[in-house]
Amino acid sequence: MGKLKVLIVDDSAVVRKIFTEVISRQPDLEVVGTAPDPYVARDKIVQTRPDVITLDVEMPRMDGLTFLKKIMHYFPLPVIIVSSLSQRGSKIALEALESGAVEVLAKPDGAFSVGELGVELVEKIRAAAQVRLTPQKPTKAPCPSTRLTPLTQTTDKIIAIGASTGGTEAIKEILLRLPSNTPGVIIVQHMPPKFTTAFAERLNQLCAMEVKEAQDGDSVSTGRALLAPGNFHMLLKRSGARYYVQVKNGPPVHHQCPSVDVLFNSAALSGGANVIGVILTGMGADGADGMVAMKNQGAYTIAQDEASCVVFGMPKEAIRKGGAKKVLPLSRIPEEIRRVLSASSS
């Protein structure tokens, strides 16, 4: 099998140079071209036929978001969005994910450090190369108050969700189809800091539930979904009848912070059979061991099936290790969550 071909599109010569150095060190990756703007990139795509493109958002002559939409329309390819950590940049990157980008990579402030950037960059390139690009119809949110079966309010059920590559759209599809009186939801999506802030704000605008980036000590309660902030682990804790989250620093687990395994293992300990665990699309094995732990403690566990995953890595490992009670396409997971909650409250 040949090397994965990468095209780097960024208006900064420094970024192009550093990305080229980092990628070229990998025996399975090859930089087949660089471009300072989308017009040069367009010609390079035709000439080099790359497997993956890294794309800046803010560039001269044409912004990255406009160019991304053109790529997805005329020449669909896995695209990794590269953006600064500014609030504005993070919101644009979320729009890019909705427009077909498969990953986001945060540029560190100031001068680049090859050491801090290298591992994340090459992992995201390898993950992007596995993505199966299929036309996606825009998700329409049903009206939870009128079109979904109402759920009996409960304070002792928890829904724990973990995802990585492709997970932003998968999480959105699930939350859009859960009513406002759904028991508390806790979510880990592999994302950099501030991207998680913008993602939570976007979901909060769209969903019937309140969605917020978690803060240490936040209660996990009916009608609320908490998203782990980038660069922090999130754990489920219980004090008497109250569930809450602990948000804390810690070393990466499976190269990730936040880590799905950290969340799922804490859910197994603190929630046990009161938890519904869901593992969604993503590269690697993060969450597989935690899902096994949840299932062993009596939790109801669901893994997304291969056909509906952008990358069938994390769910595949959870299934292989015996952690999944149910394997379902993404479109059926919200219905299954509602079914289990309704059955438990009757």
The pairing of strands 242-248 and 275-279 is unpaired
d(CA 98, CA 247) in angstroms, rounded, equals 27
Extract long-range pairs of 43-51: CB within 8 Å, 24+ residues apart: 44/7, 45/7, 45/71, 45/75, 45/77, 46/75, 48/5, 48/7, 49/5, 50/5, 50/6, 50/7, 50/77, 51/4, 51/5, 51/6, 51/77, 51/78, 51/129
Q: Across 48-155, where does the E strand assignment appear?
A: 52-56, 79-83, 103-106
Structure tokens at 302: 């669901």
What residues are labeled active site? 164, 190, 286
> How many Å apart are CA 278 and CA 333, to the nearest integer?
8
CB atoms within 10 A of CB 249: 8
What span, in angstroms and rounded, lies between the C-alpha atoms of 311 and 139?
A: 19
| The length of the chain, given as a count of residues | 346
Pairwise CA distance, residues 243 & 236, whole Å: 7
Half-sphere exposure of 170 (CA within 13 A, CB side): 31
